Structures are given as structure tokens and as C-alpha cells.
């Protein structure tokens, strides 16, 4: 990921007319799509499972970035991801707050042996220290700039400071991970994260459901 990539978040798409939103992304040559899986346990909201994703990936060529906001019982841990892996996502992200350190290692291995980029997410109040031991091996860090659970919330600039620290850590230690930011992105907050040289930017309510999708997307380019 050299230039900043935009990943529209399907959470804010129109599910009655999902194809129209996907066609809009296709028309604008958007490569990445962000897919938020929520369980009403790790976060106070419930979204969608693998079936909708399969229907999308069967008919389109987007790079899929699955953002899991779920807790998974240890006995079911690997099998939980199976259906998602079959859809051949480009990247899968799990929250460090939702896993034991053992589960995090298992998750990273599972992704990488299936040629999926392994990504860890941190909530706005979670310190980088929590993922420090995994930084040498992961492919991406997702920095949340809102509390996970809902679209349309206000960007938390303090959380974005971690992007800078993660960049420095990568440079100093030769780590290869990219950095993704998710939550509260609009044309103004985009300018902030751009300064931090982030790689992948998620945008939900700023783009979907807006009559001027095209102009808004242009502002993020």
C-alpha cells in the first residue's frame, strides 16, 4: 500500500440496494472494502456474518478488509474464521482487547498460512504496549479513532497520535506492518491522518448514503 487507500465501510451502505453502492465503488475504482462483523458482546451492536460477504466476493473483485469486533470462545476459535477465509479476504483484523495472547498468536498464524494479511486493532484507549510483542510479525495495525460499534461517531484525535508512534516504531525496528485508521473520517479528519502518513483509511457515513459520494471521495484523494 504506497498511496493512501480508501476503504468504504459497508456498515453505512444501503442494504436494500447494496448493489448500487457496490457499483458506485467499482465505478470509482475503489479497491478496498471494509466489512465490520459485530457480535453484540464485544461491542453493543450486531451486524452481519459470512453469507453476505460470500455473495459479494462471488461477484466482485474488491480487496476485502474484515474487521472483527467479536469475542470467540477458545474451543471455536479457529473454526469461527473458516467461512470468512473461504471468501478469500485480503486482510482480517481482530481486536487485541477481545483475545488472549495465545489466541492472538493463533489468529496471526491462521491468517498468514492462508495468505491473508494479519491485522490487530486497538480501541481508542488501548496502548500500543498491548500489541508490542506482535509488531514484528503482523502485517497491519488498525488504529480505532472512535469506540468500535457504530458508524457516524466523532473522530478522537488523541487516538490518532498512536499512528505517529507506530510509524516511528516500524522505522526504528524495521517492522513491515501498514497502518489503518477507522472511525470518524471526513474531509477534515482525513487531513489529520494524512499528515501521519497512514496507509489505509476507512470511511463509512462520510461516503455512503450521501448524494455527493463522488465529490466526497475526490476530497479524500
13 binds ligand DX5 (CB under 6 A): no
CB 186 within 8 A of CB 207: no
- Residues within window 36-55 making contact with ligand DX5, judged by CB under 6 A: 36
Single out the segment in contact with ligand DX5 by CB under 6 A; choices: 88-96, 132-140, 162-170, 178-186: 178-186
* DSSP element (H, E) containing 5: strand 5-8
Is residue 65 near Zn ion by the rule CB under 5 A?
no
Cβ closest to ligand DX5, residue 114 vs residue 205: 205
Cα→Cα distances 156→1, 39, 44, 74, 123, Å: 24, 23, 19, 32, 11
CA distances (Å), 187 to each of 201, 215, 216, in order? 12, 10, 7
Tally the residues of the chain.
221
Q: How far is the CB of 164 from ligand DX5 (least distance, A)?
A: 21
Instruction: Output the CA–CA distances (angstroms, integers) from residue 85 to 10, 25, 33, 40, 79, in the order listed.
Output: 18, 23, 16, 22, 10
Q: Is 123 in the site for ligand DX5 (CB under 6 A)?
A: no
Per-residue cell: 7: 476503504
Q: Rule CB under 6 A: is residue 184 a binding residue for ligand DX5? A: yes
**Range in contact with ligand DX5 (rule: CB under 6 A) among 47-55, 123-131, 132-140, 183-191:** 183-191
202 binding ligand DX5? (CB under 6 A): yes
Please check whether residue 42 is in contact with residue 69, taking contact to mean a CB–CB distance below 8 angstroms: yes
Output 102 or 188, the one with its CB closest to ligand DX5.
188
Quote the CA–CA distance of 50 and 190 in Å, as a whole number.
30
By CB under 5 A, name the one of 21, 65, 180, 182 that touches Zn ion: 182
If the CB atoms of residues 167 and 209 are measured against ligand DX5, the closer one turns out to be 209
Residue 124 binds ligand DX5 (CB under 6 A):
no
**126 touches ligand DX5 (CB under 6 A):** no
- Residues in contact with Zn ion by CB under 5 A are 36, 67, 182
Amino acid at each position: 500500500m504506497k498511496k493512501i487507500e480508501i476503504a468504504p465501510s459497508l456498515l453505512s451502505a444501503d442494504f436494500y440496494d447494496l448493489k448500487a453502492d457496490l457499483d458506485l465503488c467499482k465505478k470509482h475504482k475503489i479497491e478496498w472494502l471494509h466489512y465490520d462483523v459485530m457480535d453484540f458482546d464485544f461491542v453493543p451492536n450486531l451486524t452481519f456474518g459470512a453469507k453476505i460477504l460470500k455473495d459479494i466476493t462471488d461477484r466482485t473483485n474488491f480487496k476485502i478488509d474484515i474487521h472483527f469486533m467479536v469475542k470467540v470462545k477458545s474451543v471455536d476459535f479457529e473454526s469461527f474464521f473458516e467461512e470468512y477465509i473461504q471468501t478469500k479476504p485480503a486482510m482480517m483484523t481482530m481486536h487485541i482487547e477481545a483475545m488472549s495472547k495465545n489466541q492472538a498468536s493463533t489468529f496471526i498464524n491462521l491468517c498468514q498460512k492462508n495468505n491473508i494479511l494479519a491485522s490487530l486493532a486497538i480501541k481508542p484507549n488501548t496502548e500500543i504496549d498491548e500489541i508490542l510483542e506482535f509488531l514484528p510479525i503482523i502485517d497491519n495495525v488498525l488504529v480505532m479513532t472512535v469506540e468500535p460499534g457504530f458508524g457516524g461517531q466523532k473522530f478522537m484525535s488523541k487516538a490518532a497520535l498512536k499512528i505517529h508512534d507506530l510509524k516511528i516504531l516500524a522505522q526504528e525496528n524495521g517492522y513491515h506492518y501498514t497502518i489503518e485508521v477507522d472511525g470518524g473520517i471526513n474531509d477534515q479528519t482525513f487531513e489529520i491522518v494524512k499528515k501521519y502518513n497512514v496507509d489505509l483509511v476507512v470511511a463509512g457515513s462520510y461516503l455512503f448514503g450521501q448524494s455527493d459520494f463522488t465529490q466526497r471521495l475526490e476530497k479524500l484523494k
